Amino acid sequence: MTRAATSDQWRQFQGATLNFISENTAPTAAIAANTKPFTDLTGIDVRIVTLELTALVQRVALDLASGRAQYQVIYADPYQVLAPYQRGLVDLRTLEADPNLPKLPGGVGDFIPVQMDAAGRFVDPTAYYALPYDAPTMIWQYRQDLFAKYHDRMANDLGFDPTPGGDRTWEEYFKIAQWFNKNATSDVKYGTGHQARQHDSLMNDFSNVLWSYGGAYFDNGKEVGRLGARDPGPCRLDSEAAIAGAEFYNRLLSIADPASKTWDWDGVGAAFRSGRLAMCPNWHEFAASNELVMPGKAGYAVLPKGPVATANMYGGTGVGISANTMPNERGAAWLFLVWATSPETQLANLKSKAGGGTPTRTSVYEMPEVRAAEKRPSPMPNMLTAAAVREAWTPERIGLRPKIPMWNECNTAIFTQLSTMLSGAESPANAMRSIKSRVDQIVARGWVA
């Protein structure tokens, strides 16, 4: 790849081709449907490969080990790519500081701070290896039409205001679900549904409850989630708080739609849209599908609080550059990162029929047309969740799983044992102790890329 002699920073790599490997997410779907604006701006052709996350991680690991980048731009999942392969990614400060390359509009400071740390950094609080690209976050999704219909009756029967929001507790959520099970079967089959299949989705769904009960995977859980750690120390799932959280989660699933144990996020999302459930915790970006299928019927709020804390699982990811890229390839890849995460592109993604996505920049949320889209009728349906996710992204509410190199293996141990618990084969206390034992073995073995 040669560098053209031009005063236009955006045209210096014209004629080049970049390969971008990504999970099939909303912003990538929107960009893949229309790469023309980037090519017109830069003269660079972008080829996008989208894969399921597990396959993407395997492909990236092989590419990083090869010593020569087939994929210059990488969708760097914080837990399965950034933490284990951080040394294979470029420290983007070097490109931001290059006077021959365009700067990030608004600088790093325009990205939502907790997302910049969680999706972009690892251990070192100053270096950054990815730019926040998407921001799926778990929130409370509910049938606001049914909550309005039954509000007074529920309030009278339950003795509290059932309106979803951060003031509700998980115990109240349980009672609301139980009330729907008994009193509203003509409208919905079940009060709640969950993504409790033996899958990554189960760990996500459970973690919201775990943290709200004061449980943690490791000591200094918020720091290990936000910046990460190479060695997080002993697992703490055998604590009284963690066991209490597991006991409640097990009890909650006992009154949830029984199909919950077969669902990941797509399954519970489809069940909610079909009118089967009164409410569920799920990723906020399902709002776009909800509004398409049942316009005006869904409401969105932060998840309930527990006895100790509150938590809304964050599942965002950044985009980074392979350290195997040659200098000029890095420059071209930087142009793509700057463009793909720019306010203009994030706004276009919000409007896209092919994608949607959610902005990761503060400035986008301040745009008048984006603010207006927070109310129905909305041309950007994911923005109907904006009030909920803004609250969910505050440091005290965001839920961050451990960002450690060996997380993928730990995650498998967690959701496998949780599934055993939900089947009734093991008590919550024994399940937590079993997970702790297995995770300690994994962590003690360390990580070798």
DSSP string covering 133-149: EE--BEEEEEEHHHHHH
Neighbours of 4 (CB within 10 A): 12
**pLDDT class for 130, splitting at 50, 70, 90?**
very high
Whole-number pLDDT of residue 354:
76
Query: Cα(300)–Cα(279) distance, rounded to whole angstroms?
Result: 10
Confidence of residue 84 (pLDDT cuts 50, 70, 90): very high
pLDDT tens track for 391-414:
999 999 999 999 999 999 999 999
Indicate whether 290 pLDDT > 80: yes
> What is the pTM (predicted TM-score) of this model?
0.95
Q: State whether residue 56 is helix, strand or coil.
A: helix
Query: Does pLDDT of 4 surpass 80?
Result: no
SS3 288: helix
Res. 26: pLDDT tops 90: no
Rounded to an integer, what distance in angstroms lies between the CA atom of residue 68 and that of residue 90? Answer: 14
The pLDDT score that the predictor gives to residue 6 is 77
Question: Cα separation of 176 and 212, whole Å?
Answer: 18
**Using one digit for the tens of pLDDT, what is the confidence trace for 421-441?**
999 999 999 999 999 999 999
CB 166, CB 302: distance < 8 Å = yes
Distance of CA 335 to the CA centre of its chain: 25
- pLDDT tops 80 at residue 449: no
pLDDT at 110 over 90: yes
| DSSP letter assigned to residue 78 | I
pLDDT at 1 over 70: no
Specify whether the CB–CB gap between 119 and 318 falls below 8 A: yes
Please tell me whether residue 75 adopts helix, strand or coil conformation.
strand
CA distance 264 to 287: 16
- Going by C-alpha positions, the residue among 341, 337, 285, 283 that lies closest to residue 312 is 283
Could you tell me the end-to-end alpha-carbon distance of the chain, in angstroms, rounded to an integer? 29
| 3-class DSSP state of 76 | strand
Give the model's pLDDT for residue 2. 66
Average pLDDT over the chain reads 96
pLDDT tens digit sequence for 192-206: 999 999 999 999 999
Provide DSSP, 213-256: TT--SBTTHHHHHHT--S---SB-TTSHHHHHHHHHHHHHHHHS
pLDDT tier at 7, thresholds 50, 70, 90: confident
Percentage with pLDDT > 70 across the chain: 98
pLDDT at 352: 87
Question: Domains of the chain, with CATH numbers?
Answer: 17-136+315-366 (3.40.190.10), 138-313+398-445 (3.40.190.10)
pLDDT at 448: 65
